[in-house]
Amino acid sequence: MKSILEIMRTSAVIPVIAIDKLEHAVPLAKALVAGGIRVLEVTLRTEHGLPAIRAIAEQVPDAIVGVGTLTSPEEFVASRDAGAVFGVSPGLTSALIAAAKSSGLPLLPGVMTPSEVMAAREAGFRQLKLFPAVPAGGVGMLNAIAGPLADVTFCPTGGISQETASQFLACKNVACVGGSWLTPKNAIEIGDWNKITALAKAASALRP
């Protein structure tokens, strides 16, 4: 099993994926992988989240499938059993900490303030998701945190685009960024997988 840090360093961008139709899951994952984006965060924001994770894990072997929007403890085991190899949450609570430890599912928890970073760090987490990244202060916040909390690595997510991603990736405490621009709903709806692959290639090029 890969560590969270190893997973974060695999792709410059982790696409945040919400599956509205289950039949889109596998071709979408294949299109992203074809463009060099292997780490995928399939969220539980729709009813198709877990089935999509299972389908991708079974049919797209080059993908590293994670589960996003973990907000309750029972979701950890269900996601792990569906094939997810890491989890992402928008925040962190004592219940989620316990669930991560008991399930064995590596967790990338969300934080927004320096106090939340310190609390997550005390709980044993050194890899965190700054969320929502732009409202939380963006690049300025990340650079400010890098001084007093130098041993923490971030995946900023929320409000980042293809145009601004490189600014975040240039921060010394950022391993990757999260974003939904790789999976535009209009392209998915019409099955324009070539467009998805092109977006993935452009995202892959953000990291030399």
Catalytic residue among 47, 129, 185, 189: 129
The verdict on whether 21 is a catalytic residue reads no
The length of the chain is: 208
Q: How far apart are CA 48 and CA 43, in angstroms?
A: 9
Let me know how many helices (H) and strands (E) the chain has, helices first: 10, 8
Q: How many CA atoms lie within 13 A of 59 on its CB side?
A: 15
Strands (E), the chain: 13-17, 39-43, 64-68, 86-89, 107-111, 127-130, 153-154, 177-179
Q: Please give the radius of gyration of the chain, using alpha carbons only, rounded to the nearest integer.
A: 16
Catalytic residue among 21, 23, 41, 201: 41
The verdict on whether 129 is a catalytic residue reads yes
Q: What angle do CA 117, 12, 37 make, to 5 degrees?
A: 125
Residues carrying an active site annotation: 41, 129
